[in-house]
Amino acid sequence: MAKVAINLSTGTIQKEEIIVGIDLGTTNSLVAYIHPEEKHPIAINDLDMGTIVPSVVHFKGAGEVVVGNEAKEYLLTDPAHTIYSVKRLLGKSYQDLGNHKDYFGYKIIDDNTEGMVKIRVGDHFYSPIELSAEILKELRKRAEHALKTPVNRAVITVPAYFNDSQRQATRDAGKLAGLEVLRIINEPTAASLAYGIGLDPSEEKTIAVYDLGGGTFDISILHIQQGIFEVLSTNGDTYLGGDDFDRAIVDYWLKENNIPTAELTQNKELLQALRLSAEEAKKTLSQADNFVTTIGNITCNITRATFEELITPIVQRTVQSCERSLSDANLRKEDIQAVVMVGGSTRVPLVYRTVSDFFGKEANNSLNPDEVVALGAAIQADVLAGNRHDILLLDVTPLTLGIETMGGLMDSIIPRNSKIPTKAGRQYTTSIDGQINMKIAVYQGERDLVKENRKLAEFELKGIPAMPAGLPKIDVNFILNADGILKVEAQELRSGVKQHIEIKPQYGLTDKQVEQMLMDSITHAREDVATRMVIEARTTAEQLLYQVDRFVQKNRQHLTNEEIATTTAKRQRVADLLSSDNQEKDTILKAVDDLEETTRPFAERIMDISIREAMTGKKIE
Ligand code: ADP
Ligand code: MG
């Protein structure tokens, strides 16, 4: 059913309802749409307040909430009621914040659970979802005001690194703001769309998207072919951005003026004033060669050359991430055909030059770097509205997804960097006779042992009909949808019993942690493989002991005393190795082999007896 909307500004009937694209940023947010007649994306600039809405929420008295530039003014005067950077808290628990807790000027509650954080403002407690919803409501209001038509549906962007719970939290925030979120898409994917890269189906390209915002940095490598956008790799740092440039300038001014840093901890007003002037200086130096201002009796002076010297180490850290993302994608710099610049901080000339030099080509910066993500989201919205048929979007999963198997080993189902949406599965069976329940524990990570990885969820497949070990066939399927949300299904094929869960993990991972997990998997690769082999040997040994015991118990009458004695001795050797916590895989496997060799002839003989008895009508067991 087609929807009809009347555009009140032009008085014309619009066949398609407008779906907006939203960049919900850590520092700044904005909303864009495709102009129905002109067919190109435009960022909404309501009442000439500019297109950018600072992602700041301020609670005035009497339950009044303000968002954006007006709220930003209270950062200085009323920090306890003024919430910034809420995107950092989306889908996270208190523990997830680690040593970044001091970063926030407002009160974050530690309720000692793994649940999502709450923020205390006066006597009220808010979740990051509610606070993000306030920003989205403001964007929606501005869009409705500018377009003079109801806005009910949106595409919202998230960093490529966002995990399931962060994506889900973003979706929930949209819902709370009264928006139907048609799709969550990755910011770099949106940015490349804005540059029109891939809109021509005959074009094939590998590109890099470099996004340096206020407090976060992301680099993504995309491959585009026949209108299909595929994210080959992502890398970055969640605590690196333009704010660090500002801080470097503040520190420089303090040093120049012989003001001890300790003085600032007492004088928050001065700190804020310095920070604001530093940001102004930085922006000015993107054009000019020099900046001077005074704060009280302090003279704050800085040249572009000094500024560049100060920020070189910070910019170099982004280059290291670029190197890692290239090697993750198995590419060399020369393979990158275009570089796209995103985020306000890419306006700094040194950043532009460094990135262009690194990739050996001039980076694309013709579009407004603050707006590109929202513009691309609007293009995606247009695709979903059915106005373009030539584009499809593919993303990748940043970490391997798998389940726990015997001995606490990780069995990977969807390997990291797999394209999504995707579906993969594997068949398992029981290890104990008559087992009627099976635990399915889902993990994310690159290590061989699940305890080194991150647990996403656990559930139990119940009601498996009692059968001998090894007989049930249990299919476990992972379905990862286009939003990056994982559904895990388990089914016992003989009986048809089935169970599934949708995973919205309680708390998420920071980019740092994802990066750390990848690094750990590389540095621990050798020992991981060794540990896995020992565990597999020990598991085999345990399984064999179980089978041998069962066999001897059932068939005692068919075995001679001597046979029982040898078996018991060999069995004991294996059991001793296991209980002594032996870690020598070869020793264990040798004892296992010994025991198997000893029992095999009896097993074969007894099989014959069983068959004979079965033929003569006797019950086997
Ligand atoms: P986010 O994606 O994190 O919400 P943005 O992409 O909006 O952030 O980038 C915000 C950052 O860009 C801030 O640190 C701001 O100071 C910086 N910025 C904006 N304009 C300029 C400029 N002209 N020169 C240097 N930095 C700028
Ligand atoms: Mg951004």
pLDDT digits (tens, 9 = 90+) for 306-340: 999 999 999 999 999 999 999 999 999 999 999 99
Write the CATH number for 297.
3.90.640.10
Give me the pLDDT at residue 470, please: 83
pLDDT score of 257 more than 90: yes
Give me the pLDDT at residue 4, please: 47
Average pLDDT over residues 517-526: 69
Claim to verify: residue 462 and residue 409 sit in the same structural domain: yes
Claim to verify: residue 480 and residue 583 sit in the same structural domain: no
**Residue 413 is assigned to a structural domain of this protein:** yes
Q: Would you state the structure tokens that stand for residue 319, as one six-digit string? A: 């280059």
Claim to verify: residue 421 and residue 507 sit in the same structural domain: yes
Instruction: Report the distance separating Cα 394 and Cα 81, nearest Å.
Output: 40
Give me the pLDDT at residue 504, please: 47
Claim to verify: residue 487 and residue 415 sit in the same structural domain: yes
pLDDT score of 146 more than 80: yes
In sequence order, the 6+-apart residues with CB closer than 8 A to the CB of 338 are 195, 197, 205, 207, 208, 361, 364
Which amino acid does the sequence have at 136? L
Q: What is the pLDDT of residues 161-193, one digit of tens each?
A: 787 778 888 988 998 898 888 888 889 989 999
Atom index in ligand 1 nearest the CA of residue 29 equals: 4
In sequence order, the 6+-apart residues with CB closer than 8 A to the CB of 388 are 379, 382
Claim to verify: residue 416 and residue 446 sit in the same structural domain: yes
Gap from CA of 344 to ligand 1 centroid (Å): 3
**Residue 185 is assigned to a structural domain of this protein:** no
Instruction: Report the distance separating Cα 86 and Cα 96, nearest Å.
Output: 14
**DSSP string covering 236-250:** EETT-SHHHHHHHHH
Confidence of residue 38 (pLDDT cuts 50, 70, 90): confident
In 3-state terms, what secondary structure has residue 621? coil
**Residue 362 is assigned to a structural domain of this protein:** no
Confidence of residue 15 (pLDDT cuts 50, 70, 90): low
Nearest Cα residue to atom 25 of ligand 1: 283
Ligand nearest to the CA of 314: 1
Give me the pLDDT at residue 619, please: 43
**Residue 79 is assigned to a structural domain of this protein:** no
Examine the fold and report which residue of 293, 309, 325 is the final residue of a domain before the chain moves on: 309
Q: What is the pLDDT of residues 83-140, one digit of tens each?
A: 999 999 998 877 778 778 777 878 887 765 556 788 888 888 888 999 999 999 999 9
Least confident range from 154-158, 397-401, 422-426, 501-505: namely: 501-505
Q: Which residues line ligand 1 (CB under 6 A)?
A: 25-28, 213-216, 241-243, 279, 282-283, 286, 343-345, 347-348, 370
Side-chain half-sphere CA neighbours of 156 within 13 A: 30
- Tokens 């994310």 locate to 444
Examine the fold and report which residue of 309, 330, 365 is the final residue of a domain before the chain moves on: 309
Average pLDDT over residues 282-299: 95
Write the CATH number for 441.
2.60.34.10
Write the CATH number for 576.
1.20.1270.10
**Residue 383 is assigned to a structural domain of this protein:** no
Claim to verify: residue 426 and residue 476 sit in the same structural domain: yes
Claim to verify: residue 513 and residue 551 sit in the same structural domain: no
Measured at the alpha carbon of residue 174, what is the angle toward residues 170 and 175, in degrees to the nearest 5?
A: 115
Q: Where are the beta strands (DSSP E) in 247-343?
A: 290-295, 298-303, 338-342
Alpha helices in 360-453 (DSSP H): 372-384
The residue length of the chain stands at 621
Least confident range from 366-370, 385-389, 442-446: namely: 385-389
User: Angle, to 10 degrees, between the axis of helix 525-555 and the axis of helix 585-615?
Assistant: 30
Strands 474-480 and 486-492: antiparallel
Measured at the alpha carbon of residue 157, what is the angle toward residues 151 and 161, in degrees to the nearest 5?
A: 160
Claim to verify: residue 538 and residue 505 sit in the same structural domain: no
Gap from CA of 339 to ligand 1 centroid (Å): 19
**Residue 468 is assigned to a structural domain of this protein:** yes
Confidence of residue 213 (pLDDT cuts 50, 70, 90): very high
- Mean pLDDT for all residues in the chain: 85
CB atoms within 10 A of CB 584: 12
pLDDT score of 506 more than 60: no
Claim to verify: residue 472 and residue 490 sit in the same structural domain: yes
Confidence of residue 73 (pLDDT cuts 50, 70, 90): confident
Ligand nearest to the CA of 238: 1
Average pLDDT over residues 259-287: 88
Claim to verify: residue 410 and residue 487 sit in the same structural domain: yes
Instruction: Report the distance separating Cα 343 and Cα 362, nearest Å.
Output: 17
Give me the pLDDT at residue 370, please: 95
Q: How many domains would you assign to the chain?
A: 3
Nearest Cα residue to atom 20 of ligand 1: 344
pLDDT score of 615 more than 70: no
Average pLDDT over residues 366-391: 86
Nearest Cα residue to atom 26 of ligand 1: 345
Claim to verify: residue 512 and residue 427 sit in the same structural domain: yes
Mapping DSSP onto H, E and C, the string for 205-225 reads EEEEEEEECCCCEEEEEEEEE
Nearest Cα residue to atom 23 of ligand 1: 283
Q: Which of 225-234, 242-251, 587-596 has the highest mean pLDDT?
A: 242-251
Give me the pLDDT at residue 13, please: 53
**Stronger pLDDT, 198 or 227, i.e. the higher one:** 198
What are the C-alpha distances in Å from 50 to residues 34, 54, 142, 191, 595?
A: 18, 11, 11, 20, 78
Range of the domain at 606: 527-615
Atom index in ligand 1 nearest the CA of residue 342 equals: 6
Residue among 154, 152, 149 nearest 6 (CA): 149
Q: Would you state the structure tokens that stand for residue 419, as one six-digit string? A: 């394209």
Ligand nearest to the CA of 246: 1
**Residue 450 is assigned to a structural domain of this protein:** yes
Identify the DSSP state of 133.
H
Q: Would you state the structure tokens that stand for residue 284, as one six-digit string? A: 């000015």
**Residue 277 is assigned to a structural domain of this protein:** yes
Average pLDDT over residues 208-224: 94
Claim to verify: residue 489 and residue 412 sit in the same structural domain: yes
Q: What is the pLDDT of residues 532-567, one digit of tens each?
A: 778 888 888 888 888 889 888 888 888 888 889 999
Instruction: Report the distance separating Cα 250 and Cα 246, nearest Å.
Output: 6
Active site residues: 23, 87, 187, 211
Per 3-state DSSP, the chain is made up of helix, strand and coil in percentages (nearest 5) of: 45, 25, 30
Is there a contact between 578 and 538 (Cβ–Cβ < 8 Å)? Answer: yes
Is there a contact between 352 and 363 (Cβ–Cβ < 8 Å)? Answer: yes
Examine the fold and report which residue of 472, 491, 520 is the final residue of a domain before the chain moves on: 520
Atom index in ligand 1 nearest the CA of residue 343 equals: 6
pLDDT score of 482 more than 90: no
- H or E element that contains 514: helix 511-523
Is there a contact between 461 and 474 (Cβ–Cβ < 8 Å)? Answer: yes
Give me the pLDDT at residue 620, please: 37
Average pLDDT over residues 355-364: 97
Atom index in ligand 1 nearest the CA of residue 242 equals: 14
Is there a contact between 406 and 448 (Cβ–Cβ < 8 Å)? Answer: no
Q: Which of 4-8, 309-313, 424-428, 519-523 has the highest mean pLDDT?
A: 309-313
Is there a contact between 49 and 38 (Cβ–Cβ < 8 Å)? Answer: no
Give me the pLDDT at residue 457, please: 80
Q: Which of 285-294, 381-390, 493-502 has the highest mean pLDDT?
A: 285-294
Site to substitute for ligand 1 among 246, 283, 315, most atoms within 8 A of C-beta: 283
Instruction: Report the distance separating Cα 58 and Cα 110, nearest Å.
Output: 22
In sequence order, the 6+-apart residues with CB closer than 8 A to the CB of 319 are 354, 355, 358
Confidence of residue 505 (pLDDT cuts 50, 70, 90): very low
Q: Would you state the structure tokens that stand for residue 509, as one six-digit string? A: 């991972």
Nearest Cα residue to atom 7 of ligand 1: 28
